[in-house]
Structure 1
Amino acid sequence: MKRLNVALLAIVFVLLYSTGVAAESQYKIVHKDQVTEGWEIHVDYPLFEQLENKAIQERVNNDIIDKLEEKFRMVKRGAGESIGIPYLYYEETIVYEEKEFFSVVMTSHISRGDRYNSTVSSVNFVDGAAGEIRPLKEVVHMDRLNKAVEKIIQSDPDTYFQKTFRGVRDNTAYYLQKDKIVLVFNKYEVAPGVFGTPEMSIPLKGMKKEHPKEKRAPVPSYTSAYLK
């Protein structure tokens, strides 16, 4: 009996260890820190290395870098236009995986003195032979999504702004979680700042678009001078 328990524990350990290695080996986390008198940045971001579809892997990595460089340029430009109080830029990233569907949710925190804001973006894609980037409007019917979000907002007046919602942006950050889509809004976009970057979880049933399995042409590569 004792030997059986040891054997079972060994099997569980191997399965857990193998699962962890497989999940982590698809990407590495890169850290970047820069500090000057006018600004400082502290960024963590993933670079994918082991996706099955190499064309998608290259495009996703480029899209992630593009988003970071855009924020970095904005911070440097703002610092150049003002003197005295430095800009602080922090970037945190979470990678969600639902079967072959990946979502890289990137939250940018930018502050200067007592002014502070957070914005969220995401890079969403399918790996595998039919790999492709999936913007929000290609995943769900936007008119149905807007009705679902409006219903949530109206049902909770203590949390959400009731009169300023003008619809879900096409580039609203999101990720998939089992049979639901989770929207991640910018700070102050749908709720007071105390709620940070609020999330809404909405069932996909009756809302999800169907996609033919097709390959996209490879995307030309380029080298980034900023995040090397």
Structure 2
Amino acid sequence: MTRFPARLLATAATAALLTSPAVAQNMLDGDVTFELGHNVGKSRNFKHIATSLGTTFDNGIGMQLDISVGKYEAINSTVPSAGVHVFYAPTSDWAVGGFVLAEDLRPGNYAYAGLEAAYTTGDFSGEVYVAYRHDYNGAFHGERYGIELAYAPGNWNGFGVFGGAHGETGLPGGTKSIAYVGADYRFANNTKLALTVGRNDRRETVATLGYTIQFGNGARFSRRHSQGVFDGY
């Protein structure tokens, strides 16, 4: 299996997003994140870059494109992915929608289709999602699901905390899961530095340091790709 599905998805979504007449009248929102991490159990480093670009039209319908690529130390191939979200946001507080995602993980090459919801009110935000996984090369179909929460009150002077958990079933190695907590600091120039510590079902501790540059209102939904939700699993 080549990288064709992820590249095709990214190209089609970008063309649709940038050529839509309504986009010219709406702000493009998104971010780009650079991440370095270490899996203590495997004694393995990893690196990861990901970006999102989207918009919400006047009728509340929105679209978001996700693209990422990462690499694990001592593993030759990179891990590219591309995803598209289509959602409805009747207010600035919440949104519901669906997404599709293509990943070239080697040896597994998967496509995901899922549902998601996001809610933000004042200092608190949260997301939940569930997706079905199709295995291009075999019979390892399954589900991916997760929850993400964040709290950043204004009187914390730019500091915030967050946490979440993700799981996936039916993989060649069985089921995998991870839970994590973290803290971040938001600078005045719409950038953010975040430290995350997670623990997976293999009893491995994973730590990551990420730097995010936000533009517009930021990404409406988090990215759902493997290296984004499972870090250095």
Normalised TM-score (structure 1): 0.31
Structure that is richer in strand per residue = 2
Larger relative contact order (CA 8 Å, sep ≥ 6): 2
Normalised TM-score (structure 2): 0.30
- Of the two, which has the highest radius of gyration? 1
Structure that is richer in helix per residue = 1
